[in-house]
Amino acid sequence: MKKLINDPRTVVAEALQGVALAHPGLLTVVTGPDHIHRADAPVQGKVALVSGGGSGHEPLHGGFVGYGMLDAAVPGAVFTSPTPDPILAATLAVDGGAGVLHIVKNYTGDVLNFETAADLAEAEGVQVRAVITDDDVAVKDSLYTAGRRGVAGTVFVEKIAGAAAQRGDDLDAVTAIAQRVNAATRSMGVALTAPTVPHAGEPSFDIGDDEIEIGIGIHGEPGRERIALEPADAIVDRILAPIVEDLPFASGDEVLLLVNGMGATPLIELYVAFRRAHESLAAQGITVTRSLVGSYVTSLEMQGFSLSLLKLDAELTELWDAPVQTAALRWGR
């Protein structure tokens, strides 16, 4: 295992110290229990958004804290949901009297720990709602699974619900927007290599030099199937089809397309993938009117990428375009 760390047990805490030093005007980092919140939190009268989950997916979620997006992020250990204590602390810290929305990726651990924190926060008089993101079409959503995973589409939910909260929507309205975005988002990912969790010391899965994992999760959970390495265009087509079919997206739709690097995929390769996805969608009559290319929801140093598609309407487009000022996503101010 080759990592730029001091000790697997201190990596999250030390990174948080780095975040605090790098973004003094923007973010406040609280230690014990650890969380990151907007430097100007609580914003009185604004619905507050809190997200979180295991570390190792940076910039998700801490990179999305700031004006127009999240009010707080709660990092757990690497690939491990945070416990209720810091979620509760973050929730109390950012509540501006208008209630708090928890944005939770659909993993058993995340759901349970956020649930407990929400109960405790409600007991302290803070109104809490939750939206569970589950955009990953690689997993069958049936009674026989824990349901779809929340993956890179979570960024859409955080940005757009964040903009709704920033414009002054109330808790019900922000929750409804978040749910609407999640319901209109589909994603799927591919891994070329496996990530190595620092405390595990070994890659999360073994994969041959000429193999790729289709339908990979963001924690190195194995995916749908293992196939031989293919040209980029073929891989893009392979994961775009189930995304389009699932919603389904249809001719005439306008979409936001995210080509998301999983950590170690060069930007030049992400643009190669973007080109193909854009072309294939165009051929189906689907127009990419907004886009994002980069590594936003990562899996440590895993090589791979995911595609996420959100069906846009005028309101969602306007909220996507609204100003945002965070460490990882910034425009309009």
Partner 1 sequence: MTLGRAWARDWVGRSARVIAEQRTRLISLDREIGDGDHGENMERGFQAVVVKLADLDPDAAPAEVLKLVATTLISTVGGASGPLYGTAYLKASGAIAGLEELDGTALVALLGAARDGVVLRGKAEVGDKTMIDAWTPAVEAAGQAQAEGRSEAQILDAAAAAAESGSASTDPLVARKGRASYLGERAVGHRDPGSVSTALILRAAADAATGGT
Ligand X SMILES: Nc1ncnc2c1ncn2[C@@H]1O[C@H](COP(=O)(O)OP(=O)(O)O)[C@@H](O)[C@H]1O
Tell me if 17 contacts ligand X by CB under 6 A: no
Mark whether 57 is an active-site residue.
yes
Least separation in angstroms between CB 103 and Mg ion = 18
Q: Which of 6, 44, 142, 251 forms a contact with its own copies (CB under 8 A)?
A: 6
- DSSP state letters, 294-328: E-SS--TTB-EEEEEEEE--HHHHHHHHS-EE-SS
CA–CA separation, 187 and 152 (whole Å)? 7
Instruction: List binders of Mg ion among 76-95 (CB under 5 A).
Output: 79-80
Instruction: List binders of ligand X among 161-190 (CB under 6 A).
Output: none
Q: Which of 45, 267, 285, 318 forms a contact with its own copies (CB under 8 A)?
A: 267
Nearer to Mg ion, 55 or 193 (CB): 55
Size, binding site for its own copies by CB under 8 A = 61
Tell me if 31 contacts ligand X by CB under 6 A: no
Nearer to its own copies, 92 or 293 (CB): 293
Mark whether 35 is an active-site residue.
no
Please tell me the chain's helix, strand, coil percentages from 3-state DSSP, rounded to the nearest 5.
35, 25, 40
Radius of gyration for the alpha carbons in the chain, expressed in angstroms and rounded: 19
Residue 82's φ and ψ, nearest 5 degrees, are: -65, 160
Tell me if 247 contacts partner 1 by CB under 8 A: no
CA–CA separation, 163 and 331 (whole Å)? 12
Tell me if 27 contacts its own copies by CB under 8 A: no
Calculated CA dihedral for residues 191, 205, 156, 308, nearest 10 degrees: 30
Least separation in angstroms between CB 292 and its own copies = 8
Q: Name the site residues for ligand X (rule: CB under 6 A).
A: 80-81, 107-109
